[in-house]
C-alpha cells in the first residue's frame, strides 16, 4: 500500500496538475467522464480465457489485432471526471503514465463529439506516445495497444461516458 502511494506521489511530482484519483464521485450529470480500462493480453497454448469483466468486448475474439492473443485479463478500470483542459491520468502497471485531456466538445448532427488528446510517458525516458488526438462520441471506445508487460501486451481501452 505504501508503495502504491509512493508511486502515485512520484507520478504527481513529475506530472503536476494531473488527477490520478478515480471517479472522485462526480455527479453523473455534471459532465462527461473518461473510463480507462487497462487490459493485459497474452498468447497461451493452454486455451483461451477472457476476463468476465470484458464480456462487453466481442472484438477480442473477432478483430485484429485482438485475435493475436487468446488470454485477456482486466488489470484496472477507473473512471475520471472529464473537464475541458484539465488532464487526468492513470499510472500503468509497466511504470508509465497515461494522461488524457479533453480539448473540446462540439455537436455533430445533434450528437456530442469529444476531442481528446492522450500521452503516455515515463519520467526520464523518451515518450512512448507523445501525442494522440482522437475525436469520438460518448460510449465509443478506442484502444491504445502495444506496450509490453509481463510476457504480454497492454491494451488501454478509453471510453467517454
Partner 1 sequence: MSLSRQTMIELMALADGELDGSARDRAERLVAQNEEARQVVEAIRGSRLGPWLDEAIAARSAAADGIADAVMAKLGAAAAREDGGVVRLAASRRGRGASRKPALVASGAAVVALAAGVALVVRVGHDDATAPAPVASVPAPGPIEGPTVAPSVVAQQSAGPAQGVEVDEIDSPSRGVSVFEIPLRSAAAAAASAGPSSVVIWIDDEPGGK
Q: Residues interacting with partner 1, by CB under 8 A?
A: 58-59, 62-68, 94-95, 103-109, 111, 113, 115, 126-137, 140-149, 153, 155
Which of 147, 161, 155 is CA-nearest to residue 59?
A: 155
Least distance (Å) between residue 111 CB and partner 1: 6
Least distance (Å) between residue 25 CB and partner 1: 28
For the CA atoms of 18, 21, 25, 29, the dihedral, rounded to the nearest 10 degrees, stands at 30
Least distance (Å) between residue 159 CB and partner 1: 10
Residues sharing a CB contact under 8 Å with residue 130, sequence separation 6 or more, in sequence order: 119, 121
User: Which letter, b or e, does each residue of 95-132 get, where b requires 16 or more Cβ atoms within 10 Å of its Cβ?
Assistant: ebbbbbbbeeeeeeeeeebbebebbbbeeeeeebbeee
CB-nearer residue toward partner 1: 27 or 55:
55
CB-nearer residue toward partner 1: 26 or 136:
136
CB-nearer residue toward partner 1: 59 or 79:
59
CB-nearer residue toward partner 1: 15 or 132:
132
Least distance (Å) between residue 35 CB and partner 1: 14
CB-nearer residue toward partner 1: 1 or 148:
148
Least distance (Å) between residue 52 CB and partner 1: 20
Per the listing, cell 485477456 goes with 72
Three cell numbers written together for 138: 460518448
Amino acid at each position: 500500500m505504501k508503495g502504491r502511494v509512493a508511486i502515485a506521489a512520484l507520478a504527481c511530482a513529475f506530472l503536476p496538475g494531473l488527477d490520478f484519483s478515480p471517479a472522485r464521485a462526480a455527479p453523473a450529470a455534471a459532465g462527461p467522464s473518461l473510463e480507462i480500462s487497462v487490459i493485459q493480453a497474452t498468447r497461451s497454448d493452454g486455451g483461451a480465457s477472457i476476463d468476465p469483466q470484458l464480456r462487453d468486448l466481442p472484438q477480442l475474439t473477432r478483430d485484429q489485432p485482438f485475435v493475436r492473443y487468446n488470454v485477456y485479463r482486466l488489470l484496472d478500470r477507473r473512471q475520471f471526471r472529464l473537464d475541458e483542459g484539465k488532464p487526468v491520468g492513470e499510472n500503468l502497471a509497466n511504470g508509465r503514465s497515461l494522461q488524457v485531456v479533453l480539448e473540446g466538445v462540439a455537436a455533430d448532427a445533434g450528437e456530442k463529439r469529444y476531442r481528446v488528446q492522450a500521452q503516455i510517458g515515463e519520467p526520464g525516458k523518451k515518450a512512448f506516445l507523445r501525442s494522440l488526438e482522437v475525436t469520438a462520441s460518448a460510449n465509443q471506445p478506442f484502444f491504445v495497444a502495444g506496450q509490453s508487460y509481463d510476457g504480454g501486451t497492454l491494451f488501454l481501452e478509453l471510453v467517454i461516458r
